[in-house]
Structure 1
Amino acid sequence: MSPELTGEYLVTHRGDAETASGTVDLRLVLEAIDESGGSDQGETTEPPAYWRETRPIDSVSIDSLEPGETRRVSFDADVAELNERVTAIEDALGASPGTTRIAVVAETTLEASVADDRFVDTRTDRLALEPSQGTYSVSSSLTESQTYEATETIEVPAGPTPLQQYGGPVLIIVGVVGMVATGSAWREDTLALTDPERVRLEYSQARSDLDKWISVGTVPPREGRTIVELSSLRDLANVAIDSDRRVIERPDATPRFVVLDDDVRYIYDPPAAARGEDTDDSPAVTGGTTPDDRTRDPSRNAPPDAE
């Protein structure tokens, strides 16, 4: 599995307020901190840092966020590369002071109005990445959602009571934010995947990444070609790139990917788990050939000359 973590930062606007607007700034932070220095006269503060490196990820402007609507900001992080960078910094310093931290940090600001009162909510949320001997785990630290109170004036025809004159408080909640982190990575029990889920995730990611090299179409009979079975779709795509060919996908109940290069036919058959089948009842297809690889219902363009 790849050591890359892929995730989303979610911003949700809830309550009786009007449409909200604001910004989300995502960044990667690598640092070494003094954990003993994180308090001041009984109040918790950010601990002092021996060193810190910051990398911008994305800055998103939110022009209109309706109550109940959620905005998603995607991010990814190469955990292995970040861990190597921490090691390089410590080697350059000749020491490893404090406690090292790697985190995705989100700075979010949202503004919304209730009864002509304008409220601004600012929050900082962290998704900590904790590498450990070829694996890593993640944990989130989220700022609590803020509740604001506004008073609305109501006009009545005559004889208003104080209760009628001033309506009850209108409560709003701005900026309920969450982090969802899923990724392709070495992991401990945290966010662990089953073997079929891991196979299906790898296959789906590879099919998406390699889409520009793949055409759906008809594959002619093998006609005496040498058959070479490859163990992954990425390996097959590398063959296509090296030989200046296209990968042809047969969109069947049992899909097959083929590269035709002169008298050699390179094939890859996705395993049953990648196709979402029950591997207990349907053993995975790991290769094999058929006398005819023609499709029954091609749904996309095929290249003019598959050979």
Structure 2
Amino acid sequence: MTLDSLRLRHLASTWFPLIVGLLLLVGTASAWVTYTSTVAPSTTTEERVVSSWETNGSFTHAATVQKSNPMFPVGQTLDGRNPYFLRVTPVLDGVFSFEYGASERGELDVNTTVFLETRRVVDDRDTETVLWSQREALATESSASLGPDARVRVPFSLNVSDVRHQSGQTEAAFGDLPGSTEMTIVAVVALNGEVNGQPRTTTERYTLAIEPTESVYYVTPNGSHETYQTTRAVPVETSSGGPWSVVGPLLLGMSGLGLALVARGRGDGYLSLSDADRTYLEYRDDRSDYDDWIVRMRLPESAFDRPRVVADSLQDLVDFAIDTDNSVIEDPDGDAYFVLHDEHLYVYEPPRSGDADLDADRDPDT
């Protein structure tokens, strides 16, 4: 037996209830992990897209040269230009296009209305106040039973110069108003029918902003597309693989083996230390703690003729040496410890463990 094994037995004996409790806790947890990861994998649900469809609306625009100028001949079409000239190309010709796509099938009735909206707006931080507004219908178009990827085209024309003049007259009637005048072409698309086997009814809005100045006007389209999805909760079984399927059984086996070993050790008395073993451990701990106060040397025979005073423990002998400003002398054979003081020989004889290997080992660091 080694000193380390004796200390381990002492530790296991002292903390036996806690060790058993920890092993039981680890065993229970690992059993649950093993069951959930290998025997009965859990089932969860997740949302999955089962169908989808999307709409797309866009504007194209152009203007034809109507008045003579040094740059463009009369009758030439300026396509997709920005800005346009207010005097030379006063009429904006545009086309609004709409289509939709579906992951399966679709059949929609599409009603499209294009109109001009003119209004006077005052923006105050996050608040928008409309002082006046006017609407003018430009075009309408209806299409029944429109299928996916089929396109609806709605042409329209707008004399930007005339609208700017009319807006100026409206503003003059009200006087000097705050804010600014906005001119916007709006396309409203009403959809009704069936897409991907589901009834669909919705309305979408697309805009084309027009910003006139003294000589030109700017066109800013705001085409966009919307995506609609249908989801469904689908049960998903979590994978039984992964590290826990290995770690769980491993911990379960280790905890079971640990419980069997400590139970057998307790039953065989291996974890129970005798009084002699405990006394010997206390001595070896004292020998390690007070090593700085102990020197090894062999005393002359005359020293043993002094009256002997026996100490109960090595700690008592060291305390006496400290109080009397002496050193503790250890016999090189490790059989006894001495303090020479006032013609007396103070002695402590270490206990024996009953194990030949331990008694032969006198190294204080072990």
Q: TM-score range by the shorter chain?
A: 0.3 to 0.5
Higher relative contact order (CA 8 A, sep 6+): 2
Higher helix share: 2
Normalized against structure 1, the TM-score is what? 0.44
